[in-house]
Structure formats: structure tokens, C-alpha cells
Structure 1
């Protein structure tokens, strides 16, 4: 560090700040320090820095098992990438723990209570990590909830406007002239499922339609089984005597498998049925036809959660407790005006 300081023409304390907390050093100095460190091949020792500071530079992200494919499955990698990148820019490392067993829950609490992590970002779980009588809220570490709103419990939360976004997608179909809908649901009671179906009902009311205009299918599969739920919904659709002209899916996986299944039975999309997904998965642009979907702000979700965690780690209180980011409607080739209402099998 002394060599870097001499080459950059600054104090060693400035080198430390520039490499560990870049935001506290002006841009010109930060660049000089970075250039000197690169020239000399200097890499800070994160463990030593944590020991000197007396505080961990690790942030843990907990994923609600049994697999890391859950909830809004298709967007998780992009959210994680943004979260990790923002934390890294400020000298923090992101660790992961998959909540797939009691042992994993115990490990999370051990890390939090033992001071091994500076904070915990909880991804999309219905409940916070707990073991026995202990909960994550009992540990003296900041917690940020990502994708599920826990602000009412005093936990800073970063979420998307699931309800408002689904309302926009359904109103798009209504504006095209659709009056009969099939909704492919996620797991019954799931936070995202409740919000998204409520958004659909809001849209129906706005369009002057009753809840009878929608057939709800599914509810027994989790979001990690979206492909399977889409196939089953397609099979149910194909067996209907009076088929809805529009299908709205709780997730892109379900929409993609629905389209593939009905097209293999001669149903034209969007000629016979329009389909809307939810998530904004990159693969949707390469489907046949390309999928109209509600795209979630993945980069902003990760970076905003990281920014709030950094505030908490620095002792500041976030304001507001709830941060709601907006999804956007991506219009592609899977939606069009209906050729006829309540189409019957040919």
C-alpha cells in the first residue's frame, strides 16, 4: 500500500479509502490510485482489512431453497449480478446460502449472530431465516428484503409493482378487444401470485368486466415449476369447448411452455389466442412468436437493494422503508386483436 501511495502521490490512508470506499475519494484521486495499484499489481487483503476495521465486509444473500430457481426465476441471475457488482464497488463481498434444510437455516443465523456477515439480503422468501426460537430479526445485523414487501414489519424492502404491472398487461389485452381470459396461476398464497392476480382483477373491473371473464388455472405448482404449469394449462385450454381468446401467465416460463404446447396442436398464437407473460426473461425475445411480457427492472432491483444495505451497514436509516420499482410492458408478437370471441375447437 505504501508503494501505491508513493506512485500515486497520496497518503496511505487515501489509498485505503480509494480502494475500500471509492465514493469517499474524489474521482481524480481514485483514478490515480487505481492506476498505481494496477501498475504494481496490488490487491488489498480483504480479510486483513476486516480485522483492522473490526467489521466484516461480507454481505450474505439467502435464497429460499430447495433450489435457487424460485419465485421470479428467470430474473434472479440478473438481480444477483447487479447486487454483487454494486456491493463490490464499495468493498463488500456477496456470499450465498440456499435455505434448503434446517442446517442451512442454522448456518445463516450462526453467521449473522457471530459477526461473520455485515448484513443479510433475503431473496423472495415468505418467512425470514429462523432456527428454533431464534430468528434473523434477533441478530444485530441489517436486513433487506428483496422481492417481497416486509416494510410493515420495519424491514427495508425492494420490490416491483406486481399488481400494477399485471393490471397494465391485462388492460393491453382488453384494449385489443379481448373479453375472455385464461389466467395461469402460480402457487396459491404466494406473495407474487396474490399481487399479480389482484392486478388482473383490477384490470377487469376497469374494463367493465366481471371476474367471470377469467378462468383461473393452476395454483398447486410453485414458480420454479412454471414450465410444467404452462403445459398443464395448455392441455386444459385444448380440452375446452369454448376457449378464451387471451392467456395471462404469472411467469414467463409458464407462458413459453403454454405457447409451445398449443402450437404443437395447431393453435395459432396470436391468431387464435394471445399470450402475455411476466418477468421479462431474455429468452422470451427468441420464442416463436416473441413473447409479450411485463419486464421487471432487474438491474435496478439489485443495485437499489445494495445501496440500502450499504446505508444500513454505515449506520444510516433508509427512507422510505418500501422501495417499489416499476416493471414495463414489452409488446412483442404474441398478442393481437382477437379473431373471434370464445373460439371453439375446429
Structure 2
């Protein structure tokens, strides 16, 4: 009997009563009319006469301790409940700071939304690319001087030399290899170039490149698509102009400028007093690029374009330092709290 009483007391002490419901369960189990204490006193008649006095004293002590434990828990929980009941649940809560999406994410989503409305899908690919997808399939032959246009970070992967992609055109190659025209896709993503970091350049940045391949695609289709994009992004009064340029994977190629939205084309320090801002490069897909990806260039033609998201974001939010986008300065990021 003594060992049983000791075991029950240790069980009580190890219990963790944290609610009034748990306390009531304890009372019924140990102190109720059919509880443990009542049962123990009922078993006293089975104890030998010479031990009844000692066992009875132990039982009385156990009952007293159990009752004291119950009262102590009751007092503690009642006090906590009293404090809890004083809370005014009708009071408004404390205002939590509202976060925001990064400005580059906002512009990226807006660009994707514009092209999605005219049937473009989004395609993505790896940031570590092989030479074929990053250069050769895009009409960059080995040792061609055009490869020097893009300072590349090279990565060794076993015996194969890989590179951090210098443009998301590599994704377009993968799409052409795995799809049958018509193809209408945009490829947003991060790219890398071995350049010194400054207010106007960074070793990594973000691009959105577009590709459209079908029968009888013309340069006029390209121009109309980009004019639609400019008006959707910069406003109905936006005007574009196209200047001849060179890219290994397009022929003919062009640089596209948009009328300066900051000075309304009157001339300011942002547009260098020309009234125009360069926003992207474009051109008709070179037949060699189509053939390299298994597309018959005698049947299909297409156009491609690419833009830097940082550049578009600079024009949209008038940010004059590219480094601000990657420094995670909350003073800068808080300016976009109201954006969705």
C-alpha cells in the first residue's frame, strides 16, 4: 500500500495542469466520490491490523497533499483567468507593417501581363548553361569576335566547361528545340556578366526576352508588337523609334527607343536631352538560328526581342542607381509598399 501511495503522489507532482478543465478532471480522478483517495480508504480494511495505523496516517497525509495541490492549482488558474478577463477584445489591434513586392518583381509581372494578353506564354530555363545553348545555337561560332560582346562567368562541371548564362536567349533555344511552330513565348530571368559594379552596370541583372515564330512573320509584326508594349507600359502617348544595330542571332537587328516619359520628349538629363530612352534590342531571327534548332527557315520566320528589367524599372520609378535593387535597403524598398 505504501509503495502505491508513493507512486500516486509522484504521478500527481509530475502532472502539468494548465486549464480549469484539466483541474476538474484531476479533482474527479483523485478527490471525487469515486476517486483514487476514496478507493484507497476502502482498501484499508484489507490491511493487517498491526499496519492499519501507519497506513491510515499515510492515507490522511496523501489526501491532504492532494487537496493542497488542487487548491494551489485552482488559485493559480483563477488568477490567470481574472487577468485574461480584463482584456478588451473590442479594442483595435496594433497595426502591422505591410510588406511589398520588390520593384523588379513588380515590373517583371507587369511586362509578363502585357505580353500574356496577346498570347505569349512564359518559359524558363537553367541559369548555368552549356556553350551550345548560350552561344553556338545563337550563331556565335567558336572564336567569333561577337562572343567578346558579353564578358562571361565560366564554371567547370567535371570535364565540361559551363557558363552562367549571359542572356535568356538560351531559354528560347530550348523552346525551339522542344516545340513545333507557331511559337510565341517570353523568357524572364536572371543573367550574369563579368562587369564592374557601378550605378549603371552590375554583374547580374534581369531580362525578359521574347520570341515569335510562325509562317510569314515580318518586321512590321515586330514593330507593331513593340509599339503595343510601349503604349501599355508607358502610356498611350508613348512613341517608339528603331535604329539599326547588330546582334549575332538576328538579321536585320535594331535598337528600340521610347519617347522620354519624364520630360515628355522635351529633353532632360535622363534622356541626355534627346527626348528618347533606349529600352530594348530586337530583330528578325537569323535563319541559321532556326536551322540550328531544327526549324525549317524556308517555311518559318520569326522575330526576337530582349529588354533589361532594371532598365525599364529605372524609367518607370526614376531610379538612378542599379545597385539599389540588390542592396536590400529597407528605406528604398518601403517606397513600394503601396504597390501590388
Query: What is the TM-score of this pair, normalised by structure 2?
Result: 0.23
Flag the structure with more relative contact order, 1 or 2, with Cα contacts below 8 A and sequence separation at least 6.
Answer: 1
Larger Rg: 2
Query: What is the TM-score of this pair, normalised by structure 1?
Result: 0.23
